[in-house]
Amino acid sequence: MNEKFIEYFRKNFFENEDELKIFLSSLSKHLKKTIRVNTNKIWSDELVERMKNLWYDLNPTFSKNVFYIERWENFDEIERRLWFSLEHLMWYFYIQELWASSSVFYLSDWVVDKKPYLILDMASSPGWKTTQLAEFYPNSFIVANEFSRDRTAQLIANIERMWNENIWITCYNWQFIWRLTETFDKILLDAPCSWEWIWFKAIETLRYWNLKNVKKIADLQEKLFESWLNALKVWWEMLYSTCTMNKIEDEWVVGNIMNKYPGSFEISFEKRFWPHIDNTWWFFVCRIKKLSSIDYRFSPKFELCNEDIKELSNNDRRIIEKFSKEKWLDLENHSLLNYKWEILAMKSGNSYKEIQKRLYFIRLWKKIGKIEKWEFTPNYYLWRDFELAKVQKYDIKDQMELDNFLRWMEIWENLKDWIVQIRFDNINIWLGFASNSWRIKNIFPKLWLRK
């Protein structure tokens, strides 16, 4: 093990050698897999029962709606890997490490808040915290910003699978975020860090740990923290978190910004998770409340490149109303927008209107279909979130047929309509489209198919 690493933690945290040995030995231990329940879609008790049918046990953790998951031994003829289960595909849970679920809990005080806020997730990929924000702030508009263009693909895939409608994605650096002076009600910064947590997967990476790299990352974190603080409205809260335990990336970053802008914020909560104490990977969270402005040079209210996002025309509205009446589609609690002939459905609210003039979004949700040739054509996302009472239903007969369908095989059935709602075990799986009167074409995204 890296002697520099050991000496750093001995000097800063462990005067007792026995406790240091316990800590070091915990770094190579296997930690249990955990999942987070998507409470926007299913109650925890219901998911516990559903997973038992797949030979999985869910056991509680210290975090609400996060469970340890263990699989029974079984001899089923159909392979049911966790990430290929229907419950995973249908957005009921997210495979997420225990420590990673804590930051949103501490920002929200473990309470679902239905007020309409404007929220920034400043470094959002791979999306686990972004989708969790959508659960705890279901009526808020969330800007999921990712600094690296290379990391946006995974972010998009996870948000798309979890099917959150009020999350739009941007790709800006910290210098641009600084220009959004006092714009957001709440901000989450799970900062890029030195990845000390990766040692639980590969303990040999400890040999590359050194203070020079740690300090280099901490310099970036301070810039992010500072721009983040400027973008937050006065009297509102934000949460800073890292997956490291060294003080340089944690307390020192917070302390340096506090010294630079004395009296600008106060710390309302701070916690470090230890592997040998909390039975989790290491993690640091710090929630602060902004008390005063740090930059009086407010950015101008200029309009950027979202001219393609428009209110529906009267003709478009009549076309969608006709389809809704025919299929009994209820869009009453949603605002509808037109984006390059695609229809966006968002939970009603105005929190997005101001920010859409100031940011360019590289991905928008929720697209529910297109208007072409004076008709509304729904896409395969429509059925996942909306009930269409008058659309023909098809119930998949058994696990074998389900497995085949999820491997992109078509279903042959006598049909009365060109739109079919596909279900299994009382779960609405997809909105299928009939290519002829006997075949339901599978248009599942390739990313979600079973291999």
Question: Which residues are identified as catalytic?
Answer: 243
Nearest one of 263, 267, 262, 195 to 238, comparing CA atoms = 267
DSSP letters along 338-400, please? EETTEEEEEES-SHHHHHTTT---SB---EEEEEETTEEEE-TTHHHH--BTTSEEEE--SHH
N-to-C CA span, the chain: 39
Query: Shortest CA distance to 131 belongs to which of 117, 119, 147?
Result: 119
Q: How far apart are CA 350 and CA 367, in angstroms?
A: 18
Closest CA to 53 of 84, 93, 77, 80: 80
* Phi, psi dihedral angles at 60 (to 5 degrees): -70, 155
Burial track 219-254 (b if 16+ CB lie within 10 A, e otherwise): ebbbbbbbbbbbbbbeebbbbbbbbbbbbbbbbebb
Interatomic CA distance for residues 356 and 396, integer angstroms? 41
- Helix, strand, coil percentages (3-state) for the chain, rounded to 5, are 35, 25, 40
CA distance 94 to 91: 7
131 C-beta neighbours (distance < 10 Å), count: 28
Tokens 């600084």 map to which residue? 178
Neighbours of 360 (CB within 10 A): 11
d(CA 160, CA 448): 10
- Give the Å distances, CA to CA, from 347 to 43, 91, 352, 365: 21, 18, 10, 11
